[in-house]
Each structure stands twice: as structure tokens, then as C-alpha cells.
Structure 1
């Protein structure tokens, strides 16, 4: 099937660049035209009929891209919109994503490969929606799914705007009450990305949403943040039992670890409050990581503030020892009276005071960034001690370090290229070159400008391409020979990266 594409930008050179970046016919796409403002594009849509993918600049004369997107989506809610943005337009990008845009691209860093991946993302969403529609038995069910998606978008707009409920939100007004609002947070993201790469999480989230809508007659499920899914269920009796059953079902079907928090919403005008309450409840996991389900309860507010840089310097000057100071601060963090983000900020401030201008600034900030991503207090303190140890070792051995970072990376790359088709983790390679896992992760990203596992996956995908092109191995055999243990994951990932299923790729490239 051929999908219609429209490009809108007031800069001719940008329109030309977008048009020439992709072989549209090769991807079964028909470029029906390019226009210099939203008004022209909207009029062309009315004349030419159906448009599947709209690529539009945000700031344009006559009619801007956000207005165009809103009007076009009113006519065709299934339209996939890609925003073209400049660095200083992120507030508009956020508004566009809130109203249903699929993705955005930056003019200043526009590359054909990245643009092609964005277009493939739109195509994948179209194909996914088509498959869902094909599975419906009759038009009534198709209409129900359509209405459900519209309501989902309305809910999402309200939650992301964090604005009070408006009476004009008719779809939300008709939402049956009460609703059990569940917030499912994906944990162990570092482990997932180390093992499967950054695309795995998105593939699994899409699968969870698809299964939920297939198996649940009433309710809503959609991603709400980088690592969070939100669920609405009409059954508010025995909420903990309901949440536990949903959690078990998802974890049985996926490799994810989910922590759920929940609140009951009794009024459509209280959706934002309910989301906020569920979010607050979920923050208790930072302190109580042995629990996985957190109901909202009043009185969980946190009041302590973190120490600033100057306060830390003054206290360290007064204290008899650094270890005594840290013991006091760690005990204060365990009191659960300081917000997790503020605890992370204080931990970062302590590291800055101890090591600023003593170790490489980039390495120090990478350690602080790792602590900012910690999910529990135990993980944070572990990373803090690891960072201290690494920095102290660096200071002690700086003058007599036996290897340069370049030598270490060369040794690591040689090992990776020799063993990438076997089971391989960040820890395996770090052990091979005799440095810590965390330092190797930082070193690899700084030199290679890509995460370790994504580099390994690129090697494995290229190996799979070679085997598909030059052998008659079955797909599951290609997966195994390339380093993938799960053929289903291999097939999904291969298509996500290349735009083709393994079978289609072989058909086109086999020699």
C-alpha cells in the first residue's frame, strides 16, 4: 500500500532537503506536494483528499505548524505528524507532542539517516493501527477502538498540560467514574538497555499496550513518560488485588520489572490530581525498594532541603572526618523526609566539593549523571561510593597509570569484535580490560559516542544482514549465529532498525 506524504516549511532549502533525503517510491510513499505555509497545505489537503504523513515546520507565516496540525488532526485523527523544529522552539515541540505528533526533527542537525528512521516510525505506527483494525470482527468494534484512542489522547493532553479540567473536554466528561488510575514505572532500565539495547523498551511498551487493548474491553493504557505507562480501569473494588493481577500478567509476558502506584479518581475534573497522587505514591519506591505496589496515602509530603555547595564546604571544614560527615548525611536521607531528586542533588554536590578541579570534569559529571538515574536510595549510595573509589584511584595512580584510555578502548574493541556473536555484557568486557563496569561504560560512550550495547547490536545486525544475503540459513539460525538468543526479539529489532523483516530483507538482497 502507498501512503501519501506532505511537506510544509517556509524555507525552500529545508523543503528541498527533506524531499531529497529519501527515496519515497522505494518506501511505498507518495509525495503529494510541498508548501510554504499551513494555509496552503490545508487547502491542498481538502483538494487532494487523504494524507497519511504530515511533515511540517513549526514557525511559518500565515498559518503555523501547530495550528495546521490541530486542524488536520480534526479531519483525520490517524494522521501521523512530524514536527520540524529549531533549537529555540522546544516549548512548541512539547505542545505539538502533547496534541499527538509522532516525533520531531531539528533543522540544525537534520541527517538523511535520522529523517528516514523518523519516517519509518510513522509507517510502523500506521501499519500497527492497520493490523489492529484488521483484527476487529465488525465496524462496531472498530469504532470503539477509534473512540478509545481519541479519549486516550484527550486524557494525555490534560495530564501533560497539567491544566484544570475544562467542560469542553466532552470525551473526558463522559468517562465512567470512578476510575482506578495506575502508574506503572519500568525499573532496572540500565539492565534492560545493557542487555537488549535502547530500542527494546519501546518495543515492549508497544506490545503491552497492544495486549491490553486486545484483552481488556474497557480501560485505557498509554505511555506517559520516558519509562512510565498509565492505566485507567473502571474496577475500583479491591484495587491492590486488581493491580497485582495486572502486574503479574505483564511480567509473565515480558522481561520487565514494573512498580505500580495508584489512586482512585472519582471526578473527571480531578484527573490531574489523581495522576499527581499516583506519582507521589510511586516515589516511595526510592526508599522502600522491597515493595512493588504503592497506594496513595495522605501525609507523605517531604520537607527537608538539600545542602548547597557552600554549606557542604563549611560542614566538611568543621567536621573531624569526611566519613563522619557522610554517615550523618546518609542517615538523614534514610529518614524519608527529603524528595529523592533533592537527595540526588545533594549527593552530586558532595562529589563536586570533593573532586572539582581534581579529576576530569567530564568523568565527574558522568558519575553525577549516573546517580541522577538511580532508582533507589540503596543504588544511589552504592553509586556514590563507587564514584568516590574511582576518583580516589584515579588521583592515586594518575602519574603511574599503566595504560592510556586509548589503549584500554583498543583492547576492548578487539575483544568485542572477536566475541560479539556470543553472550556479552558490559561487565564481561570491563573484566577483560581490568576496569570497573561503570568506568568502562563512561569511557566507551565518551570515545565512541554510542552506548556499548547499541554498538554490539549494530555489529550483530550487520552480521545478520550478511548471513541473510549470502546464506540459506533459516531466520532462527541467522538470529543465533548473529548473537541473538530470542528470534522474536531479533525479528522485531531487525525490522525496527532496517525497515524490513528478515524475510523481506533476504528477498531483496540474497545473492
Structure 2
């Protein structure tokens, strides 16, 4: 605690210093002033817990100082020390909450008793302020969670608006005359890039996203953004005012995200519906509009609800389904050129409709997976036929835009690889090469030489190289190097391991040699690659 003594008489200030046992009350700093103006400057700078003040002083007297203290330093406790019993001097001490009014000459016992009461009162109030502060912190932590839960229930139709009405008005600024609403839905699953910025932490990402939305929506008192507690969305924006401007607000949100993180998000937007009875329907519409957004409309991020799916999508779908069946037959023929032609024809028929929704994309991928499963069962043998298939390549580019070209070429490469792998099971040479490749896949972290492979599989070195090249179209050494580089990329992206450790884990004892090989393969050093991934 700090103390200030205000009196124009030096002997009075010295008497107060002398009589009060400051150490007992943990008072470390004692300041002095000769008038109210000096006192004000010290109070603003030092914020003393207790002020001892005279009433009659030059420039600014005690009454003025007490009034100023009451207004600008209300937690400070005051003890008045005066040579006058006149009520005009006593009254300010009473009005402005003085602890005591002591008359000169000072009585040491009275002074110590008044000081003790002032110190005790200040400590009690300080503890209460700290307790209230801690409670407010806890409430500020829990308040967003409370509204996330309650508004999620309101959107889902599991809680009535009447239960929340008064709290929404008082805490979130809902107008009492709100008659219309609109809802926007954002799913982080459609933007792996934003999640990557926050190392895949969906809770943290949605928290940040909700705050960004509220900087645009809540501050204008047009609505409120919250984290959705169930599946189907991550952040929901409920508009209850300015609903005609909802799309403009969402464009502003995307602009903020672009400036802060270099990305924009796809957002589903409902129609304008009556409030509050239309909230649940608006939420359903917004989710549906996001799920049914047209992936072929590049650059469009705000997807408004439409009543039914496109006629072009339905008509084109029948044609593409027939072409998908033709694609399956081309695979069964074993003619790779025929397959490529069939695949291109099928993919182009989908693009030709001009409409490809998210659900439509998933449906086509599921149909294609069924065709591939059937083909493998008829074409491949034994273990190869029953092996589980890996996930299809994603069609999103670095900016979270769907690229039909990327999706098409990724699928084609995926199937061609599967086609090549299945052919490996049909000849004795191919089976040996497959075994060699499986061995490399499992043991790439060990030191592997061509002689080592030749000895293990009872072949000459020349035979190993020739057979591997004939069957896979790739040199064995290149295959092993590419395999190791791919593993190194995974470790560089997903761990903070030292380069020397990564080098060991992928089969290179010499870190410098590993760096040279990595740069030759990727055009970047391992450190440059890691830095670029972290920045992206």
C-alpha cells in the first residue's frame, strides 16, 4: 500500500509519519504534498490507498480535494486532520465518505486507530474487487459457450425462442420488434487451408472465425455469430436486422479473412424468413445451400438457397451414368487407351452440365468406387481383389477453390496407378517386382543397395534393374529416392524434428547428402520446404 499526507504544515506531516507504525500495515511508500493541487498530481501517478488531508490549505483546500477524490479515485480512503470543528469543514468528510475526522493537536491513539480502520477497509474492498474481477473473467469465458449452446438449440429447434427472448434482447442486442431473419452457415471442412493455419485445431479455428464474423455483424447489431454444437456446420450467423444486407456482410467477412489469412470461405445463406418461427427452417436452408453449392462456378463464395436442383444437373446425370458404365467395361477390357478415352468422355459429360454440387460430387465418387470395386473383383486375383482402396485425390486447390481439372486428373492418375498395380499380379515377373516394391515400401529407412535386393530375391543385379524397369516403367533407385523424399516431406510438414533425425529415419546417414538429394528432387532445401509449408 501507498499513503499520501497532505498538509501545508511540515510538523503535522512529520507527526503523522512518526506516530503510525507503517510496517505493521505493509505500507512501503509515503508521499507528501503541501496543498490539494500537488496532491492531485501524486494521486494520479501513485494511486495511494489512504490519504491524510488537512482542510485549510492554499491553492486547493481539503473540501475540493475530497470532492475530486470521490470522483476520480473512489477506492482511496481518506482521513481528515483539521484544527477546526466547524460543520462546514466536517460536512465534506461525511458527504465524500471519509473514514475519520481528527482534530489537531493529534492524538497518537486516535490517529493509529483511524489509520488501521482505513487500511482494513481498503484491503477488504480490494479483495472484493479482485473476487468480482475473477468472477467476471470466468463469466466472460463461459458466456460465449452458453450462447453457442443455446443458439445451436434454437437453430436446431430444440429450445423455444420465448425461453431466450429477454436474454437475447439484454445481452446480444436483439431488437424487440424483430420480424424477419436470415441464417448463414460456414463449414470448415470445405477449407482445409484455414484449419491448417491453426494446425488442424477445429475448436480454435471456429472460435476465431466466430469472432471475425461478430466484428462485422454483432458490432452493427444486425445479428450474432456462434459456434454450432452439432454436426452439419461449424459457425452459424443469425441475422435479425438488416437481412437484405446479409450477403454484403458475408462478403465483408470473407474480405477480412482474406486480408488476415489469405483465404475466403464458402458460405451457405438462407432466404429471408419470419422471426422467430422461421429460425430453424432458415438454418436448414443455409446448410442445404452450402451442401448443394455449384462447384463449377469459380469465384462464387456466397451460396443462396435454391428451391430445387438444376434441371441440367439431372439431365446430364443420366448421360454421365451411362458413360460410367462404359468406363467400367473399358477397364475390364484391359486396354489402357480405351480406358483413358472412356474416362475423359465421362468426366467431360459431368463438366458439360455446368452444375456439380458437393453432394453430386460425392455421389459420383461413390458410383466410381463401386465400378472400381467390381472391376478389381473380376480382374485381380486373391489378396489384390480384397485390398481396401485409399481415398480419392481431393479436388481443392491451395485457395480452397474446387478445381474440376485437378479433380479429373487426380482421379485418372489414381485409376491408372491401380490399373498398373493390378497388372503386377498377372505375371511371375510382375509378382517378383511387386514383392520388391513392397519390401522397399516397408524398409526404406534402412540402407538398401541393388546388391542387397539381388541377394534377397535370388536374382542378379542386372535382372533386378531390368525387371523393375520393365514392369513399373521406373528405375529402382529413382523409386526408392522418391519414396524417401515423400516420407521426408511428411515429417517436415508434421513435426519439428531436426534434419539430422529426419535424415536417419528415411535411410540417409549423412544429413548433407540428404539435403542435396532433397533439393535435386524438389528444387528446395529441406529447410526452405519446411518454411514454405509453415507460411502456407
Q: TM-score, normalised by structure 1?
A: 0.46
Q: Which has the higher contact order (CA 8 A, sep 6+)?
A: 1
Larger Rg: 2
